[in-house]
Amino acid sequence: MSESRIKIEKILQSIEDIEYILDTFNMKLTQAIEDKVVKPAIRMHLVKIAEQFAKLKEENAFKILENFSDQDLRGISAVRNYIAHDYDSVDDHIIEDTIRDDLPRIKHRAEELLKQQF
């Protein structure tokens, strides 16, 4: 199995883990991103997603990365930097928008890629 494929699988797994967290705690997204227990878990998965994309970029896996929009790639990277460097001041609305708007697109593209042989 290729290293790029493993990274895409990890991205998909982190997105599914966020979905699992929301389902398990039976919370609306707005509640979850404010919860003292759930919030850090969700944020860590967002960081993990961004880190996998960064590794793909470092490995010059541009054929893989071109399957994702520049907006989504820049957005998830910005959210990661925001979480990592200013954790206590992260605007929950940014996290909510990322989960609600960006992750479904990223998930769809990751699933489509994994159906292919690469």
pLDDT digits (tens, 9 = 90+) for 1-27: 699 999 999 999 999 999 999 999 888
For the entire predicted model, the pTM comes to 0.92
- The number of folded domains in the chain is 1
pLDDT digits (tens, 9 = 90+) for 69-110: 999 999 999 999 999 888 777 889 999 999 999 999 999 999
Q: Please count the other Cβ atoms lying within 10 Å of the Cβ belonging to residue 60.
A: 9
Domain holding 76, by residue range, is 3-115
CA distance 6 to 8: 5
Token digits for 27? 């919370």
CA distance 118 to 98: 28
